[in-house]
Structure 1
Amino acid sequence: MLKQPSKLSPGSVLGERYEILTRIGEGGMGYVYLADDAKLPGKQWAVKESLHAEGQAGHVQAEADVLIGLNHPMLPGIIDFFKPDPDGYAYLIMDYIHGQTLEQFIRGEGGQVSNSFIFAAANQLLEVLGYLHQQTPAIIYRDLKPSNIMLTPDHLIRLVDFGIARSYKGLQGEDTVKLGTIGFAAPEQYGGGESDERSDLYGLGALLLYMLTNGRASEWRPGIKSFIREGAPPEMVSMVRRLLEQQPQDRYQSAAEVLRVLRESQHSGGGGSSSGRFSSFSGSLVTAVLGAAPGIGVTHCCIMMAHYLAKSFKRVAIVEMGLKSTAFKQIQEIAVDASRQHERKFVIQGIDYWRQAARSDIISLLAGSYDAVVLDLGAYRDSDRLEEFFRAQIPVVVCPSAEWRWKDVQAVTQALSRYSQPGRVYALPCSDEGEAERMSRKLGGSQVVPLPLLKDPFQYTDTTRQAMDQIYAAVIPAGTRRPWFSFAKRWMH
């Protein structure tokens, strides 16, 4: 418990705007409160109060400076900042994240979270760490522990508490201040070297080991394997072992490298059974398809991808995101008996179609029910849909090929450029290799796959198969693909 007093209490009003409701947490450097916004009725914020001794007020200012310059869906947005008053109290007003800490979630599960949850958490944390490390200069978080990670009701990660984050300066003998949480912080944070990107990777390894041992260990030591749960993926255990090397040079050197290893491991060793199914940590290979503009055939492309995946995976689903979408309803009216058209799930040629799925549905669909899922995100309109896009293993942007619609492509690529994402593919319907090459040059060398003109997405050609092969080359090796055949034009199940 913190010993410092607080100036805030329920009923207090900060800055003639933020009415304090209740205390919701505390960290090493201050308390966190929930507050109502008097200017925006119904809006609530998190208020972080920090008290610093004379000469240390720069810490909270530094945290504000770090967060204000960032823009990522897994990080809290900062909307206001009150500099230290004469007594040393400073206040940071930020997004209030509904949910619980990862520590609370793990405790609620009795320490026994699923392998698929661990894999999904690792994926998300590596994405946000990669984003932080790619800043100029790189931002080192330095305190990756369960209590600093928020989990929304949909099990989406939010990284909070940047109280000890710092910019990497390089050529510095060691950290001037040793900060971090014992058991999760890298050895160099206790002296002997300056913390850098690899320090955060050590923290990730400690966090993953903590979950793999049901909360019993966060440091690699002799005999630790006896504490690791039965059934833990051996590839992940091996990855964690390297993340927890004492010397930074012996660990992975970047978040991108770890993410690549994690995703390669996800699909390794599963060359396919008689059903053609691939093995997976996470439970699902996720393809997310986003349109640069309305009316360019996003749903059309999703159907092609889902039926292509059905040749290599046993359980495949295609999910229509958005409660106002109507495309799947129209398909259902043609393909499904009238007595069952009220159901949100329908089946065509062994593939499950989920219409008008809310975001809360996605977690349950990705929890292992399917081997492969295609998310139809529709046209790019707002950032809410980008979260699913950034978390997908196969992110695809469908672009219009017409020259006069280039501004639509620029708009979405500019929005996406703020976030690092390996493996992003741009699909160009009704085009050929020449048009795809020209688009690729405009996009700075990004992968652009031409899709042939195809009036019926259930009717395939060799050209269509070749396009899909390009999109999925990283996860479906050529030698494991089953022979192709054309789908019947009549597609009722």
Structure 2
Amino acid sequence: MAFPTTLHEGMILDDRYQIVRRLGHGGMSQVYLAHDLKLPGKEWAIKETIAISNKYREAAAEAAMLTTLSHPFLPRIVDFINGDEVGYTYMVMDYIRGETLEEKFRTHPEQVDVPFILRCGDQLLRVLEYLHQHEPPIVFRDMKPSNVMITPDGDVRLIDFGIARTFKPEESQDTIKLGTVGFAAPEQYGGGQTDHRSDLYGLGALLLYLATGGMYSEWLAGMEGLIRTDMPQHAVQVLQRLLQPDPSHRFQSASEARQALYVKPLQRSHGQGRASTQIIQWNKTTQVIALLGASSGTGTTHTAIMLAHYLARMNHTVALVEMNSDPGAFARIQQVAVTGMNEQQRLRESRQFELEGVHYWREAARAEVVSLLSGSYQFIVLDLGRYRQNDRLEEFLRADMPIIIGSGAEWRYQDVIEMMTALKQYSREKWHYCLPLAQDEAVRRLRKELATDQVYALPWQPDPFDEDEDIAMQLAVLLQRYLPIVRKKRKFRFGLQLF
């Protein structure tokens, strides 16, 4: 801060507002929580701004503009206290309980899932629609996570209008270039005047930031493969259009963008809780199945191979990816099927090969997995090996179908429970649990312990490449949500192809 605050805990501002504590700060302003002495029990947020030079006019203009607004996703401005002899002004507004989107994303990233992202997008487009239709139109110009509050009910509030401006069509460009780097539209850096389409770009940057785990806020080549895999395809297309560098290529109104983003919720049957906006769109995007062992020796790789070959026999294009911290199994599979010195040489040079319709990728890095997402595979099966708190956990959490592999042995029953305790902060709605060789009683106990019916036993299958009727029936039950009715392929003759 270039200037110290004039407020402190316990002091009374303007004979009415008793300062409680500081809520936050940024740039040339600070925000405090205050009690209203004239309205007992009422709390307000007070924004203190330095008002030297033209800053006073800016603060007064911001207050005058906001007092004309009335929208459920905007704070109300109830008072504006003129600058004192030191040069400060104070804006009194609604105190919004909750946390900023930035704080929520940082502390509870598992809660920023696809339904949450789409809900934020819908609500922010609603408030932008209101601002842009105001007379004169208001351009927000700083759509970033720290300027969005999330209430305890999960609704948004757009805060901090410090650089908002009314649109003046007679001006060819802005006098001052403002906006947060990474979220501001290209025209905010020069070469034209910002208008309502600048806000649409900012919203696209914010939503892309959430949908890529905080990695990106501008559209780059190959971005489709970097967005979380459970994002609906239509929403990906909306983000791409919002982030067009040329404003004329973006949506031309918030209403148009909101209509394109909207998805009718999938209504569940009675007793299944809220409606969900997460709809699996078969054959529209690649489905990622991630297998993670609760402990060593549970058969994670064996199960991944068995599942991938089952999918291939059902006429699906499948990639089986080794992301195990102790690789080697896929290399041994290559060696078994390769004969002759020429083929051995090719083996050393290639980490990708095909076996019975399954494309194997051994010792793969995350960047390779990202490239596969933009390919032609219907399913990507990830062998993540044994659970540890590392990058592989992120791949598990991002998958369309995360599967935990536990031991069917009674004495190792607690391995899954301990893993669930360690991961209790994450949503488990999509998670499945497979116990190779488990007895029915073990399955019932774990279902009760985890409060889910998505626990399955897998029968004995010594050869994961082979077709088995019992295994096929159980995998069909496990994958029923993801598989249409298809014709099986003919049985393969064991053979390998490098590519």
| Residue 76 (1) aligns with residue 75 (2) | yes
Which of the pair has more CA radius of gyration? 2
Structure 1 residue 244 and structure 2 residue 250: aligned? Answer: no
Alignment of 1:225-240 (within 5 A): 225-240=224-239
Deviations 1:325-356 (A, max 9, x none): xxxxxxxxxxxxxxxxxxxxxxxxxx569xxx
Give the whole-Å Cα distance in 1 for the aligned partners of 2:3 and 2:39.
31
Q: Deviations over 1:431-486 (max 9, x none)?
A: xxxxxxxxxxxxxxxxxxxxxxxxxxxxxxxxxxxxxxxxxxxxxxxxxxxxxxxx
CA displacement at 1:173 relative to structure 2: 1.8
Q: Partner of 1:158 in structure 2?
A: 157
Which runs of 5 or more structure 1 residues have no equivalent in the other structure?
268-282, 285-312, 316-350, 354-363, 372-493
Instruction: Answer yes or no: is the 8 Å Cα contact 2:125–2:255 preserved in 1.
Output: yes
Identity of aligned residues (%): 49
Q: Which deviations, in whole Å up to 9, do the C-alpha atoms of 1:292-315 show, x marking residues without a partner?
A: xxxxxxxxxxxxxxxxxxxxx553
CA contact (8 A) 1:74 1:158 kept: yes
Alignment TM-score, normalising by the size of structure 2: 0.54
Partner of 1:253: 252
1:112–1:214 contact (8 Å) kept in structure 2: no
Letter in 1 for 2:274: L
User: Judging changes above 3 Å, is the alpha-carbon distance between structure 1 residues 239 and 52 closer, same or farther for their aligned structure 2 residues?
Assistant: same
CA distance in 2, matches of 1:366, 1:165: 36
**What is residue 426 of structure 2 aligned with on the other side?**
none
CA-to-aligned-CA distance 1:18-45 (integer Å, 9 cap, x gap):
0101000113230000001111111110
- 1:79 Cα deviation from its structure 2 partner: 1.1
The equivalent residue for 1:66 is 65
User: Superposed, which structure 2 residues align to 1:135-150 within 5 Å?
Assistant: 135-150=134-149
* Runs of 4+ off more than 4 Å: 366-371
Q: Show the 5 A alignment for 1:383-462.
A: none
Q: Is the 8 A contact 1:148 1:161 kept in 2?
A: yes
What's the CA shift string for 1:231-268, capped at 9, x where partnerless?
221111111011001111110000010111112xx24x
Letter in 2 for 1:101: T
Shift of 1:227: 2.4
- What displacement does 1:87 show? 2.3
**Residue 172 (str. 1) matches residue 81 (str. 2):** no
Once the two structures are superposed, residues 357-380 of structure 1 have per-residue CA deviations (whole angstroms, 9 ceiling, x without a partner) of xxxxxxx73556999xxxxxxxxx
Give the aligned partner of residue 109 of structure 1. 108
Q: Alignment RMSD, CA only?
A: 2.1
**With structure 1 as the length reference, what TM-score do the two structures score?**
0.54
Q: Distance in 1 between matches of 2:52 and 2:219?
A: 36
Query: Which structure 2 residue ranges, 5 or more long, are not aligned?
Result: 281-499
Contact 2:200–2:251 at 8 Å: present in 1 too? yes
For 2:193 and 2:278, the matched residues in 1 are separated by: 44
Q: Compare 109-118 and 71-80 and name the one that shifted more.
A: 109-118
Alignment map for 1:187-336 (pairs within 5 Å): 187-263=186-262, 266-267=263-264, 283-284=265-266, 313-315=267-269
Aligned length: 280
**Is the Cα–Cα contact under 8 Å of residues 3 and 28 in structure 2 kept in the other structure?**
no
8 Å Cα contact 1:252-1:258 kept in structure 2: yes
1:365 equivalenced with 2:274 (yes/no): yes
CA distance in 1, matches of 2:206, 2:175: 25
Q: Which is further off, 103-112 or 92-101? A: 103-112
The answer for the alignment partner of 1:120 in structure 2 is 119
Q: Secondary structure of 1:194's match?
A: coil
The 3-state SS of whatever aligns with 2:47 is: strand
Amino acid at match of 1:29: M
Secondary structure, in 3 states, of the residue corresponding to 2:221? coil
> For the Cα contact (< 8 Å) 1:112–1:211, is it kept in 2?
no
Distance 1:232 1:171, change over 3 A: same
Alignment partners' CA distance in 2, 1:123 and 1:151: 14
Distance in structure 2 (CA, Å) of the matches to 1:81 and 1:133: 24
Secondary structure at the aligned position of 1:57 is classed as helix
Q: One-letter code of the match for 1:77?
A: R
Distance across 2 between alignment mates of 1:157 and 1:55? 31
Say if 1:234 and 1:21 are closer, same or farther in 2 by CA, change over 3 A: same
In 1, distance between residues paired with 2:253 and 2:133?
Answer: 10
Match of 2:109, SS state, is coil
* Cα distance between partner residues in 2 of 1:109 and 1:314: 26
- Counterpart position of 2:377: none
Task: Report the counterpart of residue 32 of structure 1 in structure 2.
Answer: 31
Give the Cα separation in 1 of the matches to 2:136 and 2:209: 30
Q: 1:194-218 deviations in whole A, cap 9, x for unaligned?
A: 1100000000100110011011111
